[in-house]
Amino acid sequence: MKLIKAVVTLIRWTLKLILTGILLMLVAYFLASSNWLKADNKLALALNQGLVQVEAWLSKAGVLPKLAMTERKASQADTDDNQAQGARWPQNQARVYLELTDPKLKRACLVAMSAWNDTGAFKFVQTTDKDKAQIICRAISDSTNGAAGETETDLALPQKQLTHATVYLNKYYLFNPSYSYSWQRIINTAEHELGHAIGLRHTNEISVMQPTGSNYSIQQADVTKVRELYSR
């Protein structure tokens, strides 16, 4: 009985420590970002980012289900991004071949394509001819890369014209119960990767292009960026 009591006390204290840690992190976060609190949307962003950090921390501590980043290699992607900054297709339109046998992933891609199409800023056209496709969507199942989705783009320099893109959706994370991806977050991931495929880069704004990828669907800020990119 004494042992059980000791274990219960230990668990209680551990939980208290975790909660205190979370509170301290939140306070520290808001203090650090206090100059952001002037604008309302910045407050929302700071709140969201604080929560995302707490979520990531809890996930690491094993309290919450694990989270997969949309892309793991942030620094590498940034390097590529610098070279690819301003890269775009000749027009705001691209042919997509869905190399996807999984019906759920295929549907997620189609929903993501029509979500972009609905913005009027870019048009994805599905093609059944892989050779004529400019963008290919492919499924992978890779437990080692830590990314729920990845996009490779080829571009012609120096005019920085996109020539080909491959979107990879990682079933290992997207369909893994311990990562608990909702249907909406799977769609958000597809929208994020298609965003890369048309020249968008990561941003910390409230955007489908946040590095963590699946928190938001396409936002007005994303539509504005695509319009800017393709109005040049």
Minimum CB separation from Zn ion for residue 57, in Å? 21
Placement of tokens 């109005």 in the chain: 231
**CB of 187 vs Zn ion, minimal distance in Å:** 15
Query: What are the beta bridge partners of residue 135?
Result: 96, 165
CB of 135 to Zn ion, least distance (A): 15
Complex with Zn ion: residue 71 or 222, whichever CB lies closer = 71
**Which residue, judged by CB position, is nearest to Zn ion in the bound state?**
71
Q: Which residue number, 71 or 191, has a Cβ lying nearer to Zn ion? A: 71
Q: In angstroms, what is the minimal distance from the CB of 152 to Zn ion?
A: 12
Contact 115, 144 (CB under 8 A): no
Q: Residue 98 has which token pair?
A: 């869905």
Residue 73 or 95: the one with the smaller Cβ distance to Zn ion is 73
Residues within the interface to Zn ion (CB under 5 A): 70-71
Question: Of the two residues 80 and 99, which places its CB atom closer to Zn ion in the complex?
Answer: 80
Q: Comparing C-alpha atoms, which of 139, 131, 121, 119 is closest to residue 95?
A: 131
Query: For Zn ion, which is the closer residue by CB, 121 or 191?
Result: 191
CB of 186 to Zn ion, least distance (A): 15
